Structure 1
């Protein structure tokens, strides 16, 4: 898969700082070379805490390269915002998918896997597998 066709990743958080920090962490851990396109969609349009369907839509459009977009969300209303956009059908790029994964670990796994050129199903599987990471 060429760099232009990498799966995009969108990180949706109630906080712009959290979304941007997790995006930076994931990109940093993806290593050198070409990395998958990643966008943070955190907070509201006026900089407050919350979620914005407009910011999520814009982030997904920004990272869409035609290979799909994996969207990870942090908490309740962020998940609901993404689900509503997916239900509307025309607000997100074709191939956009909400990924049920832990936010930080899932984001790192998704970006690393997407950067390796994996398809959307493999990116989703890698992010979802992050639920099994043990810290004991």
Structure 2
């Protein structure tokens, strides 16, 4: 694959997904960033997850090197897994990443922006589980 890894943040809340994307962009160093798009809530602005919003964000984030999908809670995981199981619903190379939502998003964006491939983005995001706060 060529291009840059895109990132989609799947949350039950549109404001949460948008805020985490903005935070990640702000902490990524100020230079050009890989695409990071929120896919939060339902189309009518409610709480929940939307396969349609996730698929649209993944398509928009796709730059040819895969799309890392980070999720917040249970049904977001199930929705992404269902999309991955349906051929053609998500871009080729789309992958559900097991990582903390906030810390993983920042690590994924920094790595993708530096040119890391999808495996490197996944490793960086997943490594965020080991960050100690005390």
TM-score range, shorter chain: over 0.9
CA distances 1:46-93 after superposition (whole Å, capped 9, x unpaired): 000000000000000001000000000000000000000000121000
CA distances 1:89-126 after superposition (whole Å, capped 9, x unpaired): 21000000000000000000000110001000000000
Where does structure 2 lack aligned partners over 5 or more consecutive residues?
none
Partner of 1:106: 104
Query: Is residue 128 from structure 1 mapped to residue 126 from structure 2 by the alignment?
Result: yes
Equivalent in 110, 114, 117 of residue 115 of structure 2? 117
Partner of 1:9: 7
Give every structure 1 segment of 4 or more consecutive aligned residues whose post-TM-superposition deviation is greater than 6 Å: none
3-state SS, counterpart of residue 111 of structure 2: helix
TM-score (norm. length: structure 2): 0.98
Query: Is residue 69 from structure 1 mapped to residue 67 from structure 2 by the alignment?
Result: yes
State the Cα distance separating 1:32 from its structure 2 match: 2.0
Alignment RMSD, CA only? 1.2
Partner of 1:86: 84
Which structure 2 residues correspond to residues 52-67 of structure 1 after superposition, within 5 A? 52-67=50-65
Structure 1 CA distance, aligned partners of 2:119 and 2:15? 28
TM-score (norm. length: structure 1): 0.96
Where does structure 1 lack aligned partners over 5 or more consecutive residues?
none
Structure 2 CA distance, aligned partners of 1:115 and 1:29? 12
Structure 2 CA distance, aligned partners of 1:16 and 1:89? 26
